[in-house]
Amino acid sequence: MGKRRLSISMTILGAGIDTQWKAYRHGIVRGGRKSLIKRKAVPPRLTDMKQRKAIVEYLVTALSGWRLSKFEYEAPCRTALRQAFCMQGHGWEASDREATLLVEEGLKRLGYARPSWEEGQRFFTQSPDRCGWCHGPIDPDERTVAQRFCCADCARMALAACDRRNRAHDGTSNIMQNAYKLIWRDMQEPRACIVCDKVFKPGHKDATCCSSACAAQRSIQLRKAAGFKFRPALMNCEECGTSFKPGKLQSRFCSASCAGTASNRKLVESLAHERRTCRHCGTTFTPVKTNSCFCSERCIKADYEVRKWEQEQVEKTEYLSDPKANERSITISGFDSLVPS
């Protein structure tokens, strides 16, 4: 009888050890389904809701004073917060994690979004009239709308290079989509343009014209056949009398300069009988603009100097009343009263 009890006890003990080993090796079964993912415990925060709110408010003020980049003060704020938490006795890793979360919350409050993957590529800032792979000029006669490569070979090499660098983004980038289109066009059968009879490879299956110029000419032909009105071939400028080709049906001037001259002359004529008082010297004058407040450039500059001096006096008074108002450096001292001990 004793041997039987001992055998049962050893069986139960062995089953317990076996179950623990399976749980360690293959995961724990919960709700009838095996969970193979070992969940890490979420580390506790070093601050409560009220303290985080106060720190984030301070961070919003500090981060919003950038000059060159929206993320200019991200690193100083994170460093100062981490140092402040470490000085209160917290570990470096926990302090850095808490500082990172607080700074990210401040950036999110301000609405600062980081650049996308595509904006960080060299194609994003490259000139559209240069090939995205060999940087050579693209023939304007053969270039279509939004074409970024000079030939199909360059497009293929760019696709291969992008696929090696980052497979996750090669299908979503606009430049890579352009490469796909150029390669597809190179594989199509040539056809003749219905306007100039030039043989070309279409960019899409319904293309009938070889270039944007021929497409515009075809549009004009269709509109003429439908009875649309068109602008005259040549007309005289109302300001200088020069003959020019109008860009719109209601065009009246040959250039923006002539249009501005005519508009200014009309404005001066409308203000010729109006009298105003100079804001600086009090002299009565005839305005040349609708918002004219001074009689001359000398009065404009003198009034500016007066307002500049008054502003400097106000800033000087504020500085004397609060010596720390002009400090822009972000140091650990700024978080001493906010970080809990």
- At 287 the pLDDT is 82
% pLDDT > 90, the chain? 0
Q: How confident is the model at residue 1 (pLDDT cuts 50, 70, 90)?
A: very low
More confident site: 288 or 87: 87
Q: With residue 313 as reference, give the H or E element that holds it.
A: helix 297-321
Lowest mean pLDDT among 67-81, 161-175, 190-204: 161-175
Taking all residues of the chain, what is their mean pLDDT, rounded to a whole number? 75
Query: In 3D, which of 149, 174, 121, 95 has the Cα closest to residue 335?
Result: 95
Domain boundaries, the chain: 49-114, 126-226, 236-270, 274-302
For range 100-109, the mean pLDDT: 90
Res 192 pLDDT > 70: yes
**Rounded to a whole number, what is the distance in angstroms from the first to the last CA of the chain?**
65
Q: Averaged over 284-300, what is the pLDDT?
A: 83
The mean per-residue pLDDT over the stretch 16-41 comes to 57
Q: What is the pLDDT of residues 55-71, one digit of tens each?
A: 888 888 888 888 878 88
Q: Which residue has the higher pLDDT, 105 or 291?
A: 105
Q: Please name which of 269, 322, 271 lies closest in space to residue 292, comparing C-alpha atoms.
A: 271
